[in-house]
């Protein structure tokens, strides 16, 4: 655990993301829970805790500087990524974590309970059936669908001036070219310890 703590602390420092010792402990406890439940629920292919610090925690937290507003939706959250790490470091923001897989949302609810996160709601639903009121300032989509599909299915969930934050690996130029009328920005993300490319595509509801 000491090695993981040092690895997380170094990664957060490199990304200029402040975190209290309690928040760092919550993040590492999340990885412990994920590893424990993964034996039965098959939540992630990442089994090594050292890799998980980079690929689950730091990869998720790279989005934090781009969040805006007080209500955030994480679509297709799976095992709670990126929503749970973000909610841990942003306790004043309300997060809704949405997934249609009841086994995964069962894990996420238990993680929310054990981590003591009071700013997270977990919803089991398909995106097309989800009817929230009010809308969201930001919608997160990580490894979920093409940009055009993400925009088509989530735009209705945004408030005026809201944004979709789509997490991608390599720059998805073919998908970007399909965004005919949607204003967007492309941001390259630098994840400490990760050699592979990461990009964030901001789709703007303006």
**Residue 199, domain CATH:** 3.40.50.150
Average pLDDT over residues 133-143: 93
Average pLDDT over residues 84-99: 98
* The pLDDT of residue 173: 94
Cβ 131 vs Cβ 73: under 8 Å: no
What are the Cα distances from residue 148, in Å, to 137, 144, 154, 188, 203?
Answer: 19, 11, 10, 19, 10
Average pLDDT, the chain: 94
CA within 13 Å, CB half, 48: 5
The whole-angstrom separation of Cα 127 and Cα 120 is 18
Tell me the residue range of the domain where 82 lies. Answer: 2-204
The whole-angstrom separation of Cα 116 and Cα 15 is 25
What confidence tier does 181 reach under pLDDT thresholds 50, 70, 90?
confident
pLDDT of residue 197 exceeding 80: yes
Closest CA to 111 of 46, 60, 35, 44: 35
| Whole-structure pTM value | 0.95
What percent of the chain has pLDDT above 90?
A: 85
What confidence tier does 180 reach under pLDDT thresholds 50, 70, 90?
confident
* The pLDDT of residue 2: 52
> What total of structural domains would you count in the chain?
1
The whole-angstrom separation of Cα 60 and Cα 80 is 10
């Amino acid at each position: 655990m000491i090695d993981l703590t040092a690895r997380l602390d170094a990664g957060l420092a490199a990304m200029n993301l402040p975190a209290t010792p309690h928040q760092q402990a919550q993040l590492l406890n999340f990885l412990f829970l994920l590893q424990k439940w993964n034996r039965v629920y098959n939540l992630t292919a990442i089994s090594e805790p050292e890799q998980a610090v980079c690929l689950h925690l730091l990869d998720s937290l790279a989005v934090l500087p781009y969040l805006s507003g007080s209500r955030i939706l994480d679509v297709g959250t799976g095992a709670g990524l990126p929503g749970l790490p973000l909610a841990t470091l942003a306790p004043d923001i309300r997060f809704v974590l949405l997934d249609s897989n009841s086994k995964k949302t069962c894990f996420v609810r238990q993680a929310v309970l054990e981590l003591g996160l009071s700013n997270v709601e977990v919803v089991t639903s398909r995106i097309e059936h989800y009817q929230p009121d009010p809308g969201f300032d930001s919608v997160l989509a990580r490894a979920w669908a093409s940009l055009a599909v993400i925009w088509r299915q989530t735009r209705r969930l945004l408030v005026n001036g809201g944004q979709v934050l789509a997490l991608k690996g390599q720059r998805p130029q073919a998908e970007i070219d399909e965004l005919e009328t949607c204003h967007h920005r492309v941001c390259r993300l630098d994840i400490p310890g990760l050699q592979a490319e990461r990009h964030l595509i901001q789709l703007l509801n303006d």
